[in-house]
Amino acid sequence: MLTASPVAGTKLVKPKPTPRDYWRQDKLDAIVDAARGPYKAAYLLMSETGMRVGEVVHLTHDDLTLDGPAPVAHIRAKEVVAGAKPWRLKNGEERVVPLSPRAVALLSTLPRRRRWVIDRMNGTAATANQPANDRHILSYLKTVLARLGLEGTNHKFRHSFCTIAVLAGVDFFTLRRWVGHVDEEALKIYVHIADEQAQMTMRQLAERRQAAAHPAKPARGRQGISKVSAKSSRGGRGAGGVSAKSQR
């Protein structure tokens, strides 16, 4: 019923991206160690590869290549229920993700009872062949985090992986190949984190160079004192000493 928009010409100012908290490696390890059953595998995959929770629960055993020198997981679209709309990736980006030795070791121990790598936790006969529910994974995560005194969601695994990778020197091109689409705002956050790390490294380098250019002078020890005392006892000019020339 309005003839003109009351907000016409108004520009929305986007807030500047600020670094978000992430789980350091010791926290990620604690979460995985505290988890049990299929949950452990889900959390390990997210923390070691940066996969989204939806990609983890839709991972099948056929998507994994665990043998050989380059173990990988194929992240690709697939049919979940016959006749239904297939599951697709965000932005449709199918990719191949390298697997860490730790992920390979755990995945190799999982029984291949059904199609999905992560079994449906409360599976019934009707849902046995369906992927795990990401809400159950989140609910169990909240329990684990409360026990460890931490906070976060499933997505924090992905953010933590990206942050740790950037701090370790992984370039953004390689990171995007691993984790798929990273929106520009998130990329700015990772760049900001990398800049902070670079500044810290530069300060440490400057401190080491300054210390090398101005080494600390060694303190006079017992050896220096004994030499002065010996010189004085021989009549040399020392503290309270009298020279041989003056005695003559």
Token pair, residue 93, equals: 């980006």
Residue 116, beta-bridge partner list: 60
Contact 43, 157 (CB under 8 A): yes
Question: What are 65-122's pLDDT values in tens digits?
Answer: 999 999 999 999 999 888 889 999 887 889 999 999 999 999 999 888 788 998 776 6
Q: What is the DSSP letter of 63?
A: G
Question: Is 75 in a helix, a strand, or coil?
Answer: strand
Asked, for residue 79, whether it belongs to a domain, the answer is yes
Average the pLDDT over each of 15-19, 99-103, 119-123, 202-206 and give the range with the smallest value: 15-19
Asked, for residue 68, whether it belongs to a domain, the answer is yes
Asked, for residue 19, whether it belongs to a domain, the answer is no
Question: Which pLDDT value is given to residue 122?
Answer: 61
Q: By C-alpha distance, which of 109, 133, 102 is closest to 37?
A: 109
Q: Which CATH number characterizes residue 61's domain?
A: 1.10.443.10
Asked, for residue 77, whether it belongs to a domain, the answer is yes
pLDDT-based confidence at residue 17 (cuts at 50, 70, 90):
low
For the ranges 141-145, 192-196, 213-217, the one whose mean pLDDT is highest: 141-145
CB-CB neighbours of 190 under 10 Å:
21
Amino acid at residue number 132: A
Contact 38, 118 (CB under 8 A): yes
Question: What are 120-171's pLDDT values in tens digits?
Answer: 766 555 556 788 889 999 999 999 999 999 999 999 999 999 988 888 888 8
Question: Is 116 in a helix, a strand, or coil?
Answer: strand
Average the pLDDT over each of 22-26, 176-180, 221-225, 238-242 and give the range with the smallest value: 238-242
Amino acid at residue number 168: A
Residue 97, beta-bridge partner list: 73
Could you identify the residue written with the tokens 């390979």? 104
Could you identify the residue written with the tokens 């988890």? 35
Q: What percent of the chain has pLDDT over 70?
A: 79
Residues 159 and 21: their CA atoms lie apart, in Å, by 9
Domain that includes residue 53, residue range: 25-121+129-182
Residues 28 and 68: their CA atoms lie apart, in Å, by 27
| Domains held by the chain: number | 1
Asked, for residue 211, whether it belongs to a domain, the answer is no
Asked, for residue 220, whether it belongs to a domain, the answer is no
Asked, for residue 46, whether it belongs to a domain, the answer is yes
Residue 41, pLDDT > 80, answer: yes
Instruction: Quote the pTM value.
Output: 0.71
Question: Which pLDDT value is given to residue 11?
Answer: 83
Asked, for residue 173, whether it belongs to a domain, the answer is yes
Q: Where are the alpha helices (DSSP H) in 108-171?
A: 134-148, 155-167
Could you identify the residue written with the tokens 């010791």? 26
